Chain A
């Protein structure tokens, strides 16, 4: 079964990496402050609070106020990390647009419990549009780590990045695919598996599903690249174009609407540079529902075997 189905075996979630990374960032730089909107236990910003109580700000269930306050702190020389659930960060979208991104402020937003993978909480909690909306903002960097180590490294890497960012985090424990020496490079795709017949550009949970799908496809004599696109903006255009040229068979995979997210971003790059047929795997412009993440991934076509099926059909159909 797929990566997400393994969650019960208790790996680590990217939100755990966020919590650990925040502490490291806080140790590295005394100007780091954290804000949360009554979800600090879920987003793991609570770990920072325990270590640095004076530098943690509880904002109550008031996301707009959290973002505005973070912006005020950032122009005063602080480095605010503001977290909530991905879906609720969207409630402050217009403040993120009009204060944070418009002024290119150094505010690091984190949205956890993104996508269908959130599971039982259902539609209202499953952000499937966050990548698309944040990606559309000038100045904004959009990151989705694929495992807890990458999340931790990304939080620390953002210390050296002066500008607005959105980090998409997940509730579910996922396999760890990076070791502690891993260096996170904003904007650089990471080739996890090589192939010759196709390339799957994946982000977040779908990196794991795609890796498993690639194994299944091998048995069908289809060898595919799997690339971790942890930075959806700025996206690694060079890598995307070069692997498209190599394989002429491009697939994207994301736990997000197929409109405007990773699939949209890759299509934009290829459309202007190397037009070729591609297949976007993701939510097909519909909302999810309650259920276990693995069940939902199966039903909505995101599980490894569904990915393998879709890739196979796409490769054969070309």
Chain B
């Protein structure tokens, strides 16, 4: 892997983190924790892997990306703006009345393939996209990002069973296993147990990685291109709040925006990382 490209993607991930903090601080609302944990994955998807065209967001052959953990919209919107789907200026309207950038993603936003907000639902929706791709003999791939807390929703398992049953090898689930959910550590709220074993038992190719190691992420995404009649699950071990020390593994920042003081400290930390 090209070291320069990896360094660039890391910088991009850091920019997504900074924007996530700026957006939520400005709105005094939104979900910073999960945006920070998904930042490296989003950078890898949008600036390395996904075949998308910001000038033609509805291009029929594009790869699809489903943010099933729709509350992590700050990081997602930042990635879409940086990719050029809409202007960065638009980020200022996040969560404001009459804005395009609603609290949770909406289909009318350029580049958005799924309107999330209610957990678990993007997973079965992604299955539908993948089945349609097979029916139409299209080459696009479908990626869906799932939270580990989200995996407590039963429909995630209904969908997983179905994805294997329909041999959706054009479908890649990515688990942002950031260990934390709204009210505490996932292992304390409702432990999802051994995720790798579970999805393997459900009939998936399972790849387990450090979700903050860019090289790992890129390798896993490339490996998921191997078609063997099975869907793939990339288990990305991550840290909720990654990159801002006082937000890391702190459930208080699941759905709480930083105040002015916290904003200053967070930006100082993130600025040092470039």
- B117 interfacial contact with A, CB 8 Å: yes
CA distance A267 to B126 in the complex (A): 41
One digit per residue, 1 when the CB lies within 8 angstroms of any chain B CB and 0 when it does not, for chain A 140-183 equals: 00000000000000000000000000000000000000000000
Residues B107 and A103 in contact, CB atoms below 8 Å apart? yes
Given contacts A60-B161, A94-B118, A99-B115, contact A72 B154 (CB under 8 A): no
- A73 interfacial contact with B, CB 8 Å: yes
One digit per residue, 1 when the CB lies within 8 angstroms of any chain A CB and 0 when it does not, for chain B 72-87 equals: 0000000000000000
Q: Counting chain A CB atoms within 10 Å of each CB, which of B127, B128, B159, B166 scores highest?
A: B128
- B132 interfacial contact with A, CB 8 Å: yes
Nearest-neighbour CB distance to chain A for B64, whole angstroms, equals: 9
- A238 interfacial contact with B, CB 8 Å: no
Given contacts A64-B155, A68-B155, contact A99 B121 (CB under 8 A): yes
Interfacial chain A residues near B162, Cβ < 8 Å:
59-60, 62, 65, 69
Residues B127 and A72 in contact, CB atoms below 8 Å apart? yes
Stretch at the interface among A75-83, A206-214, A226-234, A289-297: A75-83
Residues A62 and B158 in contact, CB atoms below 8 Å apart? yes
What is the chain A residue whose CB lies nearest that of B126? A72
- A274 interfacial contact with B, CB 8 Å: no
- B42 interfacial contact with A, CB 8 Å: no
Interfacial chain A residues near B136, Cβ < 8 Å:
76-77
Residues B158 and A98 in contact, CB atoms below 8 Å apart? no
Residues A68 and B159 in contact, CB atoms below 8 Å apart? yes
CA distance A80 to B136 in the complex (A): 15
Q: Which of A68-120 contact B (CB under 8 A)?
A: 68-78, 80, 94-95, 98-99, 102-103
CA distance A59 to B127 in the complex (A): 11
What is the chain A residue whose CB lies nearest that of B133? A76
> Number of A residues contacting the other chain (C-beta, 8 Å)?
29
Interfacial chain B residues near A55, Cβ < 8 Å:
135
Nearest-neighbour CB distance to chain B for A30, whole angstroms, equals: 10
- A57 interfacial contact with B, CB 8 Å: yes
Residues B131 and A57 in contact, CB atoms below 8 Å apart? yes
Residues B158 and A72 in contact, CB atoms below 8 Å apart? no
CA distance A60 to B118 in the complex (A): 22
Given contacts A72-B131, A73-B132, contact A99 B158 (CB under 8 A): no
CA distance A302 to B158 in the complex (A): 39
Given contacts A71-B125, A72-B129, A75-B129, contact A65 B135 (CB under 8 A): no
Nearest-neighbour CB distance to chain A for B151, whole angstroms, equals: 15
Interfacial chain A residues near B106, Cβ < 8 Å:
103
CA distance A269 to B155 in the complex (A): 38
Q: Which of A22-71 contact B (CB under 8 A)?
A: 33, 54-55, 57, 59-60, 62, 64-71
CA distance A70 to B133 in the complex (A): 13
What is the chain B residue whose CB lies nearest that of A104? B107
Nearest-neighbour CB distance to chain A for B235, whole angstroms, equals: 21
Nearest-neighbour CB distance to chain A for B79, whole angstroms, equals: 21
Nearest-neighbour CB distance to chain B for A277, whole angstroms, equals: 42
Interfacial chain B residues near A80, Cβ < 8 Å:
128
Nearest-neighbour CB distance to chain B for A78, whole angstroms, equals: 6
Given contacts A60-B162, A64-B155, A72-B131, contact A98 B121 (CB under 8 A): yes
Q: Which residues of B contact A (CB under 8 A)?
A: 106-107, 113, 115, 117-118, 120-121, 123-133, 135-136, 154-155, 158-159, 161-162, 165-166
Known: A64-B121, A66-B124, A68-B155. 7 other contacts (CB 8 A): A33-B135, A59-B162, A65-B158, A68-B124, A72-B128, A73-B131, A94-B118
Q: Which 8 A-B pairs rank lowest in CB-CB distance, beginning with the nearest?
A: A72-B128, A68-B124, A76-B132, A65-B158, A62-B158, A69-B128, A64-B155, A72-B125
